[in-house]
Amino acid sequence: MKNYGQVYYRALAVVLLMFTGAVLVVNCLTPGKVFSESENRVLQQLPAFSLQTLGSGKFTSEFEAYLSDQFMARDFWIGLKSDADQGLGKKESNGVYLGKDGYLIQKFTPPGHEDLADKLKAIQAFDQATPGLRKYMMLVPTAASILEDKLPPYASGGDERGYWDKIKDSDLGDIRWISVFPVLEADKEQPLYYKTDHHWTTQGAFLAYRELGAPMGFTPRNEDDFNIRQVTSQFYGSLYSKSGFRHIRPDAIELYYPKVSETVSVEYAHEQQSADSMYAMENLTKKDKYAVFFNGNHGLLRITTGSAEGRRLLIVKDSYANSLIPFLTPHFSEIDVIDLRYYEGDVLKLMEERQIRDMLILYNMTTFFEDPSIKALADSVE
């Protein structure tokens, strides 16, 4: 029996060694993939070797990432692992919960106390430097908070509302806070969030737009003022890519077209390009279909509308705003849109040059807590 066991384990070791060698050979002979459609990200390429990168450890870490990213039939193995995890009852993968009714919900991570304090100081400094500016702030709850009943029994949606209250109760001067918790919770049986993506749907954005009306001094439109069209039913979003969970039904994306036609032009300032539509329909044939809104995120957009209101609005935002902005075009003649993750200009100078009198800060809670770029507001007033 002892000899038999030794032979068995030696044979197993040989088989594994041969399999690993075969995989390495196939990987070397197969051209590396640059982009993973299923994961929606750029893959690690074979790093250049040098004694300096080897000594620093950079080559080793990048080579390990290369082997992982370029592993033969990677998408197949990811799907197989996900299936095995689900078979074992696992409901979480890479910070994403597999919830009820096919919802993938991103786990809420509380912010660090010091980092949150620095962001609030930046907003305070900007508010103090802009006394004549009408400022509004909307922090949007994520699905983890609104759809907490969809989470697995052991999971918690976190305390987004508690952190929202803490920020609201901070001394942020003249900024007017706009809460969308009540309206989203009241309508949460509707598809207000995508099931495979971290964004809210166009319907969720529409409800939030209507909450902006009274505080910002305009009369919002009703849903029957729009023709609502489903432009795709094959959207697999960011949480599908991040989690590795498969065998999930895709989402649909809807666009709200005004029944009364409007003239809108969009200038992509950094790219020196322009368009006569807020929708990049060609992205519906790609993996990141949410980029149908304004062709994704950009440092600076300038939207000129046919509105006779004469008002100019600055929006400082993350990608949640992309599906809400089209609803605002009837109420403002010009809308400048800044994403601080990609914008390197002086925000205060831009506002002065553009004679802007209204400003909306719009982030989802997760991005606001995780992304440090909001601190750049303080740089323009130093």
- The SS3 call for residue 152 is coil
Tell me the CA distances in angstroms from 42 to 38, 145, 181, one per residue in order: 11, 30, 35
Report whether 335 contacts 267 (CB < 8 A): no
Residues 6+ apart with CB under 8 A from 119: 368, 372, 374, 375
CB atoms within 10 A of CB 22: 11
Report whether 55 contacts 48 (CB < 8 A): no
Where does residue 186 rank: exposed (0-12), middle (13-18), buried (19+ CB within 10 A)? exposed
Q: How remote is the C-alpha of 24 from its chain's centroid?
A: 35
Distance of alpha carbon 331 from alpha carbon 339, whole angstroms: 21
pTM over 0.85: no
Distance of alpha carbon 266 from alpha carbon 83, whole angstroms: 44
- b/e map 362-371, b = 16+ CB within 10 Å: bbbbbbbbee
Residues 6+ apart with CB under 8 A from 76: none
Q: What is the DSSP letter of 200?
A: B
Residue in 137, 199, 141, 224 with CA at minimum distance from that of residue 172:
137
Q: What is the pLDDT along the chain (382 residues), one digit of tens a residue?
A: 456 656 655 766 666 567 656 656 655 666 666 555 544 455 666 777 777 777 776 667 666 666 655 655 556 566 666 666 655 567 888 899 999 999 999 999 888 899 999 999 999 999 999 998 999 999 999 999 999 999 998 888 788 999 999 898 888 889 999 999 999 999 999 999 999 999 999 999 999 999 999 999 999 999 999 999 999 999 999 999 888 888 899 999 999 999 998 899 999 998 899 999 999 999 999 999 999 999 999 999 999 998 888 899 999 999 999 999 999 999 999 999 999 999 999 999 999 999 999 999 999 999 999 999 999 998 877 6
